[in-house]
Structure 1
Amino acid sequence: MPTGRWDGTQEKDTAGVRRHGDRLSSELERHSSLKDARDTVGADPPPTISQDTTQTASNEEKLTPGSKRPPALRRSHSRGGELERRASIDDARSLVSADRPPSEDENLPPSKVYHPFSPHVIALLMPASIFGALARVGLLALTTYDGREIFPLAWVQAAGCLVMGFAIGMKEPIGEFYGPLYTAITTGFCGSLTTFSSWQLDVFSSWLNTANSHRDWFRDVIDGLGKTIFTIAISLSAVTFGSHLAAVFGRYIPRLPPPPAWLRYTFTAASVLTYAAAYTAYFRMSPTFRHQATAAILFSFPGTLCRYILSIKVNPLLKLFPLGTFTGNAVGTALIGTFHVLQSTRSPPSPNACGVLQGLIDGYCGCLTTVSTFATEVKALTAGRAWFYVVLSWVTCQCLLLIILGSSYWAGDVRETVTCVYTT
């Protein structure tokens, strides 16, 4: 039974309680002084990543298997890992959506979202491919002259990447108006205006000095490296400049209401008829135009369609590597090397066959491969992945040309200059 008398044990407990209370008081005074000092300096700095990670690990060790994780602890994961995951997700989304019509991710209602293989999307690629191929052929002819300071393909890549960057910056308003128009501009026009295969062939021709310029092998290397470095720099800069123009001037472009159903079907029908007219132009116009333009526009849409299918079907297979674009550029470069060999044989084919080969080079290979989408994907990747993508694409295509063209040249069956004779 408890009594009113204090024994020795009670005195010891009382002393322990007093000591514990003294320690608590000193701790409270210390924390109060620290808080006053922080208030004097300013607001507390945010916790660093290492502090956040250490605190998370210590809290997780205190949790038992059956205990419930508090909400604050669930939000205190490593910020470095979270930022890396978010960057990876953003990179993957950017790569997958580069050629797709605007989707619900761009805050569009379902009524304005089109399936990637919608007839409206596919049909609008037809005239866009034709206009892109014609613009490339015309721009190359315009910028090819004696005494030029810039190689002609630089103008082509810069123009296509500039329009590409502007269209990407205007993706949301274009999607609000008519989603297939975005794919027609980016995949159809810009992808057909720029060309990866011709760029690689031009670089490889610099190694071999096929123009027979008066220079040594060291200048050949400088010429090839110059075309490589400046093409990449110009393309990336043009995409950035186009996006900047969209941010500055996009607000002044009036927003148009979506076209009604009858007008959408009119666009689709007119697009199909435009490509049908390419066959009429090829067979009915003078054969002298075949190697210059008509054969190129005939094979433009098949090249664009193959590239678009690769982008939609193959690109999502690897989240952080645009496998579809890489495949299209590699296959197109191998084909342009093969067609160039056929154009340079010692016994050239007939003029009609030469015109078809030139049409396959300018039309199919030029539209199957692209620099505008390539530059956009490089900008969407992190630095390490971007360098890996650029180097792998360049080395792969140069090796393909070395196998196809180099072996033919060194075997003596093919000349370094084109031997084809076109109809005049």
Structure 2
Amino acid sequence: MQDLSVNDFNKNNISSSNTLSNVLAVAENVENSDVDETIQAEEKEVEELSTELIERKAIVFAILIPFSIIGVLIRIGLINLHSYPGTPQGTVSLWKGLTTGFCGSITTFSSWILLIFNEYTSQHIPHRSVAYNVLASLADIGITIGMSVTGLKFGEHLADIIIPRHQIRLGKLYKIVQKPSKLNEFTIADILCLGFGIVSFILVVALASTVQVHRNIIFATVFAPIGTSIRCYLSKYNTLKKHFPLGTFAANLSGSIVLGILFLLSNGIVSSQLSCEIIEGLANGFCGCLTTISSFANEITRLPRKHAYKYALVSVLMGQVAMILTIGIYHWTIGLSSTSTCN
């Protein structure tokens, strides 16, 4: 038998390894090709079986207005119910109005970020230890995300009871087609949605200019549709980066920055009652509807686990950076007033 040198042995191993790698690469390419062909076939089938649904941007933004107003009023009402003395610490347009306008306006990411910041900086409990501050902020993070995801899953279960999933799979497939908003092509439903949205906005603006009581709430209803509309526009960027919804992230981060500035203004920098009411209206209406926890919770449950943790962590950390830059630096260098007329 011929003896093999160490170099010959290594060469043979390298050659075998390369051959195996080539075989695996070819097999992987074949598998990927089969997967791509399967996906293309399924997409073609969906294209052939689907029924087109027309989406007009003007109608979508119009229907966001009343649902934004309703959503922000419900959120303010829930906050007031929680803040009692002694409290312990089917069309595309309608669907978008309910999800983006209504649910997105009830939940607010920016206020949650501000609450976390207030907990670990201990602004409302000045003598609490650092360890308790950290625990309180972690509790706010865990409870909010936990309850949001729980509510989302509970809603899915209710939907499955009302309309079982097998019925949905056997039903019609719909494809959303965006078309320009030409008045001569509007249906009666389009005209009603457009008119309802415009009348709703005119009504709240008229109330804000005439009513002298509870103006902070009325101002919130005026600014709410603006925040919701911007969030709806930014949502188109959610597919720009795979596994990271840039649109929702941009809306939540920008809303947190604006809320931090408003919080700073309301704590000693402005003093007039009207200014305070406008600031509170912007905070509850504009920032509250620009940012959303409902979409945030939905996204972290839909993303692959690794990307979901990354998205959630980056969102919370960047929100805290926004609070530190807008509130923290001023608070730690100059100090916030404890006798502001806005409190």
User: TM-score with structure 2 length normalisation?
Assistant: 0.79
- Rate the CA distance shift 1:209–1:402 in 2: closer, same or farther, 3 A: same
**Residue in 2 aligned with 1:28?**
none
Deviation at 1:418, TM superposition (A): 6.6
Aligned pair 1:129/2:39, yes or no? no
Alpha-carbon distance in structure 2 between the residues aligned to 1:59 and 1:215? 60
**Residue in 2 aligned with 1:138?**
77
- Rate the CA distance shift 1:59–1:211 in 2: closer, same or farther, 3 A: closer
**Residue in 1 aligned with 2:102?**
189
- Rate the CA distance shift 1:294–1:194 in 2: closer, same or farther, 3 A: same
Alpha-carbon distance in structure 2 between the residues aligned to 1:106 and 1:194? 38
Deviation at 1:265, TM superposition (A): 1.3
Alpha-carbon distance in structure 1 between the residues aligned to 2:201 and 2:146? 34
SS of the aligned residue for 1:299 comes to helix
Deviation at 1:392, TM superposition (A): 0.3
Give the alignment partner of residue 216 of structure 1, picking from 119, 122, 129: 129
- Rate the CA distance shift 1:216–1:122 in 2: closer, same or farther, 3 A: same
SS of the aligned residue for 2:243 comes to coil
The residue correspondences of 1:340-351 to structure 2 (distance < 5 A) are: 340-345=263-268, 348-351=270-273
Q: How many pairs were matched up? A: 299
**Residue in 2 aligned with 1:290?**
215
Does the Cα contact within 8 Å between 1:300 and 1:367 map onto a contact in 2?
Answer: yes
Identity %: 29
Aligned pair 1:77/2:31, yes or no? yes
**Residue in 2 aligned with 1:380?**
302
Alpha-carbon distance in structure 2 between the residues aligned to 1:403 and 1:75? 49
**Residue in 1 aligned with 2:23?**
57
**Residue in 1 aligned with 2:230?**
306
Alpha-carbon distance in structure 2 between the residues aligned to 1:296 and 1:239? 26
Alpha-carbon distance in structure 2 between the residues aligned to 1:419 and 1:105? 59
- Rate the CA distance shift 1:201–1:78 in 2: closer, same or farther, 3 A: same
**Residue in 2 aligned with 1:233?**
146
Alpha-carbon distance in structure 2 between the residues aligned to 1:296 and 1:59? 59
Does the Cα contact within 8 Å between 2:243 and 2:304 map onto a contact in 1?
Answer: no
Structure 2 counterpart of 1:342, which letter?
A: L
| Structure 2 unmatched runs, 5+ | 1-19, 40-45, 165-170, 172-185
**Residue in 2 aligned with 1:400?**
322
Deviation at 1:348, TM superposition (A): 3.2
Deviation at 1:283, TM superposition (A): 1.2
Structure 1 counterpart of 2:139, which letter?
A: G
Deviations 1:255-284 (A, max 9, x none): 9xxxx9324312221121011101011111
Does the Cα contact within 8 Å between 2:109 and 2:256 map onto a contact in 1?
Answer: yes
Aligned pair 1:363/2:285, yes or no? yes
Does the Cα contact within 8 Å between 2:228 and 2:290 map onto a contact in 1?
Answer: yes
SS of the aligned residue for 1:414 comes to coil
Does the Cα contact within 8 Å between 2:266 and 2:342 map onto a contact in 1?
Answer: no
Does the Cα contact within 8 Å between 2:267 and 2:342 map onto a contact in 1?
Answer: no
Structure 1 counterpart of 2:228, which letter?
A: T
SS of the aligned residue for 1:211 comes to coil
**Residue in 2 aligned with 1:419?**
340
What is the root-mean-square deviation in Å for CA atoms of aligned residues? Answer: 3.1
Alpha-carbon distance in structure 2 between the residues aligned to 1:58 and 1:270? 61
Does the Cα contact within 8 Å between 1:197 and 1:332 map onto a contact in 2?
Answer: yes
Structure 2 counterpart of 1:318, which letter?
A: K
Does the Cα contact within 8 Å between 1:340 and 1:418 map onto a contact in 2?
Answer: no
Deviation at 1:321, TM superposition (A): 1.0
Give the alignment partner of residue 337 of structure 1, picking from 243, 246, 260: 260
Alpha-carbon distance in structure 1 between the residues aligned to 2:153 and 2:255? 26
- Rate the CA distance shift 1:58–1:105 in 2: closer, same or farther, 3 A: closer
Which of these two proteins has the greater Rg computed from alpha carbons? 1
Deviation at 1:376, TM superposition (A): 1.0
Deviation at 1:247, TM superposition (A): 0.6
Does the Cα contact within 8 Å between 1:124 and 1:271 map onto a contact in 2?
Answer: yes
Alpha-carbon distance in structure 2 between the residues aligned to 1:214 and 1:269? 54
Alpha-carbon distance in structure 2 between the residues aligned to 1:419 and 1:148? 23
Alpha-carbon distance in structure 2 between the residues aligned to 1:222 and 1:106? 54
Alpha-carbon distance in structure 2 between the residues aligned to 1:106 and 1:195? 40
Alpha-carbon distance in structure 2 between the residues aligned to 1:106 and 1:140? 48
SS of the aligned residue for 2:340 comes to coil
Deviation at 1:330, TM superposition (A): 0.7
| Structure 1 unmatched runs, 5+ | 1-53, 61-72, 87-103, 152-176
User: TM-score with structure 1 length normalisation?
Assistant: 0.64
